[in-house]
Amino acid sequence: MNMNSEKSELKVITGNGAAAISAVLCRPDVVAAYPITPQTEIIEKLSHYHATGRLDAEMVTVDGENSAMNTVTAASAAGARVFTATSSWGLVFMYDAVLAASGARAPVVMVNVNRETPGIIAVSAGQQDMISIRDCGWIFLIAEDSQEILDLVIMAYRLAEDYDIQVPVMVHYDGFYLSYMAERVEVPSQKSVDDFLAVLKTQPERTKLVPGQKLGCGAHGILEGYVELRHKHCAAMERAKDKFEEISLDFEKQFNRSYGGQIEEYRLDDAEIVLVASGSMCGTIKTVIDEQREKGLKIGLLRIRMFRPFPSEKIIKALKGKKCAGVVDRSICFGFKPGPMCVELKSFSRELGDLKILSFIDGIANTDITKINVEKMISMTIAGAKGENVPEVTWISYDKDLKEC
Amino acid sequence: MADKKKKKRLSKVFDYLKYEDPFAKGVSFCAGCPLERLVRFVPQVMGNDIVITGTPSCSAPVLLGQNGKSWHKLSYYGTLMTGAASNATGLARYYKRAGIDGTVVCFNGDGTAADIGFGNLSGAAERNEPFVYICYDNEGYMNTGIQKSSTTPFGAKTTTTPVGSNERGKNLRRKNLGLLLAMHKIPYAATATLSNLEDFAKKLLKAKEISKKGFCFLHIFSPCPTGWGMPTDTGIEVCRKAVQTNYFPLWEAENGKFSFTKEVKKPKPIKEYVKLVKKFSHLTEEEIEVLQKDVDYEYAVLKQLSLLDQECPLPD
Amino acid sequence: MSEKIYFNFQGPWSDAATELLCSDTGSWRTERPVLDEEKCILCGFCAMYCPIQCIEMKGQFFHSDLNFCKGCGVCARECPKKAISMVPEGEFK
Can you tell me the ipTM of this complex?
Answer: 0.96
pLDDT at A64 over 80: yes
CA distance C22 to chain A (A): 15
Domain housing A17:
9-255
Cα separation, A179 vs A38, in Å, equals 7
Whole-number Å distance between alpha carbons of B109 and A394: 52
Q: How far apart are CA B105 and CA B211, in angstroms?
A: 10
Pair A230, A342 in one domain: no
Residues of A in Cβ contact (< 8 Å) with C14: 215-216, 219
Instruction: Please give the distance of CA A363 from its chain centroid, rounded to a whole number.
Output: 17
pLDDT exceeds 60 at position C62: yes
* Closest chain C residue to B222, measured at CA: C51
Residue of A58, A99, A227 best to disrupt the B interface, most CBs of B under 10 A = A58
Does residue A331 fall inside a structural domain?
A: yes
* A2 within domain boundaries: no
Q: Would you state the pLDDT for residue A1?
A: 58
Question: Does residue A4 form part of some domain?
Answer: no
**Average of per-residue pLDDT across A28-37:** 98
My answer on whether A213 and A175 are in the same domain is: yes
Other CB atoms closer than 10 Å to residue B166's CB: what's the count?
6
Q: Which of A213, A229, A237 to mutate to test the interface with C (most CBs of C within 10 A)?
A: A229
Determine which of C38, C48, C58, C85 to mutate to test the interface with B (most B C-beta atoms within 10 Å): C48
Give residue B9's pLDDT: 78
Average pLDDT over residues A207-221: 96
How many Cβ contacts (< 8 angstroms) between chains B and C?
136
Contact B311, B256 (CB under 8 A): yes
Q: Which amino acid is at B8?
A: K
**B282: Cβ contacts below 8 Å, ≥ 6 apart:** B155, B157, B163, B168, B169
Whole-number Å distance between alpha carbons of B222 and B138: 5
Number of domain units in chain A? 2
Sheet strands side by side (includes B51-54) = B257-262, B250-254, B188-193, B216-221, B132-137, B104-109, B51-54, B75-78, A215-217, C13-15
Chains in touch with C (≥3 Cβ pairs < 8 A):
A, B
Q: Give A40→chain B minimum CA distance, Å.
A: 19
Interchain CB contact of B74 with A (< 8 Å): yes
List the helix and strand counts (H, then E) for chain C: 2, 5
Longest dimension (CA), chain B: 66
What pLDDT tens digit does each residue of chain B (316 aa) get? 444 566 667 889 999 999 999 999 999 999 999 999 999 999 999 999 999 999 999 999 999 999 999 999 999 999 999 999 999 999 999 999 999 999 999 999 999 999 999 999 999 999 999 999 999 999 999 999 999 999 999 999 999 999 999 999 999 999 999 999 999 999 999 999 999 999 999 999 999 999 999 999 999 999 999 999 999 999 999 999 999 999 999 999 999 999 999 999 999 999 999 999 999 999 999 999 999 999 999 999 999 999 999 999 987 7
**pLDDT on residue A83:** 98
- In angstroms, what separates the C-alpha of B152 from chain C's closest C-alpha? 23
Domain final position from A204, A233, A255: A255
Q: ∠ at Cα B49 (B43, B50), nearest 5°?
A: 65
A207 with C7: Cβ contact below 8 A: no
Of C14, C41, C68, the CB nearest to B25: C68
CB contact (8 A) between residue B90 and residue A74: yes
Within this chain, do residues A269 and A303 fall inside the same structural domain, yes or no? yes
Query: Would the CB atoms of C76 and B233 count as touching at under 8 Å?
Result: yes
Q: Is B280 helix (H, G, I), strand (E, B) or coil?
A: helix
Residues 6+ apart with CB under 8 A from A352: A316, A319, A320, A325, A345
3-state secondary structure of A51: helix
Q: Given CB atoms, is C92 within the 8 Å cutoff of chain B?
A: no
In A193-322 the beta strands, taken as DSSP E runs, fall at 215-217, 263-266, 273-277, 299-304, 306-308
Contact A228 C10 (CB under 8 A): no
Q: Looking at CA atoms only, how far is residue A92 from chain C in angstroms?
A: 24
Residues A109, A59 within the same domain: yes
For chain A, which residues lie within 8 Å of any Cβ of chain B, measuring from their own Cβ? 29-30, 32, 57-58, 60-64, 66-80, 82, 96-97, 100, 209-222, 225
Looking at the partner chain, which of B48, B65, B79 has a beta carbon nearest the beta carbon of A74?
B79
Euclidean distance between CA atoms A322 and B161, whole angstroms: 65
Q: Are residues A283 and A230 located together in one domain of the fold?
A: no
Q: Rounded distance, CA C30 to CA A33, Å? A: 55
Query: How far apart (Å, rounded) are the C-alpha atoms in residues A138 and A107?
Result: 9
A3 domain residue, yes or no: no
DSSP-derived pairing of the beta strands B188-193 and B250-254: antiparallel
User: Which chain B residue's Cα is nearest to A95?
Assistant: B82
Q: Which residues of chain C make contact with B26, given a CB cutoff of 8 A?
A: 22-26, 67-68
What is the reported pLDDT for A86?
98
Q: How confident is the model over A269-273, as a mean pLDDT? A: 97
| Distance of alpha carbon B269 from alpha carbon B293, whole angstroms | 11
Among chain A residues, CA nearest to B95 = A78
Contacts of C59 (CB under 8 A, 6+ apart): none
Would A214 be classed as within a structural domain?
A: yes
> What is the spatial distance between Cα B216 and Cα B210, in angstroms, rounded to a whole number?
7
Tell me if chain C has a CB within 8 Å of the CB of B188. Answer: no
What CATH number is given to the structural domain containing A103?
3.40.50.970
B9 touches chain C (CB under 8 A): yes
Interface test mutation site (partner A, options B63, B75, B118, B122, max chain A beta carbons within 10 A)? B75
Chain A with chain C: Cβ pairs closer than 8 A: 52
pLDDT computed for residue A400 by the predictor: 76
Which subunits sit against B, judged by 3+ Cβ pairs under 8 A? A, C
Average pLDDT over chain B reads 96
Pick the CATH number of B28-307 from 3.40.50.10470, 3.30.300.100, 3.40.50.10610, 3.40.50.970: 3.40.50.970
Task: State the angle between helix axes of A15-25 and A40-51 in degrees (0 to 180), rounded to the nearest 10.
Answer: 40
The pLDDT, as a whole number, for residue C1 is 55
- CA distance, residue B98 to nearest chain A CA (Å): 9
Compare CB distances from C42 to B6, B23, B31 and report the shortest one's residue: B6
pLDDT at B189: 98
Show which of A238, A255, A272 is a domain's final residue.
A255
Q: Which structural domains are found in chain C, ordered by start?
A: 28-92 (3.30.70.20)
A270 within a domain of the structure (yes/no): yes
> What is the distance, to the nearest Å, from the Cα of residue A267 to the centroid of all Cα atoms in its chain?
22
Confirm whether A1 is domain-assigned: no
**Cβ contact, residue pair B97, A29, below 8 Å:** yes
Q: Residue B23 has what DSSP assignment? A: B
Residues with Cβ within 8 Å of A129's Cβ and at least 6 positions away in sequence, in order, are A87, A88, A89, A91, A92, A112, A114, A115, A116, A117
Q: Which chain C residue lies closest to B16 (C-alpha atoms)?
A: C48
Q: Which residues in chain B touch residue A61, judged by CB atoms under 8 angstroms apart?
A: 127
C43 touches chain B (CB under 8 A): yes
CB contact under 8 A, B70 and C16: yes
Q: Does B95 touch chain A (CB under 8 A)?
A: yes
Report yes or no: B63 and B76 within 8 Å, Cβ to Cβ: yes
pLDDT of residue C18: 83
Residue of A nearest to C18 (CA): A214
**Least CA distance to A164: which residue of chain C?**
C10
Is residue A341 domain-shared with residue A251, that is, in the same domain?
A: no
ω into residue B249 within 30 of 0, thus cis?
A: no
Nearest to B255 by CA among B298, B300, B309, B304: B309
CA C9 to chain B, closest CA, distance in angstroms equals 8
Strands A356-361 and A324-329 turn out to be parallel
Are A328 and A358 members of one domain?
Answer: yes
Task: Report the pLDDT averaged over residues C51-69.
Answer: 95
Q: Which CATH number covers residue A373?
A: 3.40.50.920
A21 and A126 inside one domain: yes
Note the residue count of chain A. Answer: 405
3-class secondary structure, A332: coil
Cis peptide before C33 (omega within 30 of 0): no
Task: Find the helix or strand (DSSP H, E) in which A131 lies.
Answer: helix A128-132
